[in-house]
Structure 1
Amino acid sequence: MTEKGKAVKFDGLKAEHHLLPSLALEEICGALSFGAEKYEAYNWAAGEGINWSRYFNACLRHLWAFWRGKNKDEESKKDHLAHAGACILILLEMYLISKGKDDRPVYYPKKSEN
């Protein structure tokens, strides 16, 4: 029951998009825009897709560059963390929509429910 004259909206289990860190997302969008110019937008989804390891490796390279004190990617002039974030988002998207080739090492069991 709602109180008369009071605005109510039941958002219960809906995703709370306002929790996304806007400055970080803007930087990631910049890295994605650079990639779209360099490779074409949504290139990762073209055809059969791409091996997941390509984005996993790219993400790690950007993370290690940042961890070793390099803030900006030399080619794009974007933050390495923004590139790593873009790689993570693309990898997660490929996983969620079953796109590309899941080429994770076979010696790790793939747990479909984990």
Structure 2
Amino acid sequence: MHNIGKDKDKRIFRSIDKRFKEFQKKIGIDFENEKLLKQAFTHSSYVNEHRRKPNEDNERLEFLGDAVLELTVSQFLFLKYPLMSEGELTKLRAAIVCEPSLVAFAHELSFGELVLLGKG
């Protein structure tokens, strides 16, 4: 009976691997470190249920990603709109890097199919 659980886990992990390969093909980017890609889509509830290390969820990467996104958008707006004031640039950046726009982007790329969540 113990082997049945292991076989099921292997099938699940193969399915997950396949989804991430298809995603990379869809967006035209091959990630050198696929483990980081999977980690970016791994919720802490999944880590807790699968007895993985706490730092294997996406929280630290989310922290870094938020900073990179803000810096990238800031630089783009700074260069694109040289006559805009700091206040106008800040408002525009906030409108771009807001939850609804990021959710729309995530839906467009079908991120929901990749997120690894726990059952709870």
TM-score after normalising by structure 1: 0.28
Higher normalized helix content (fraction of residues): 2
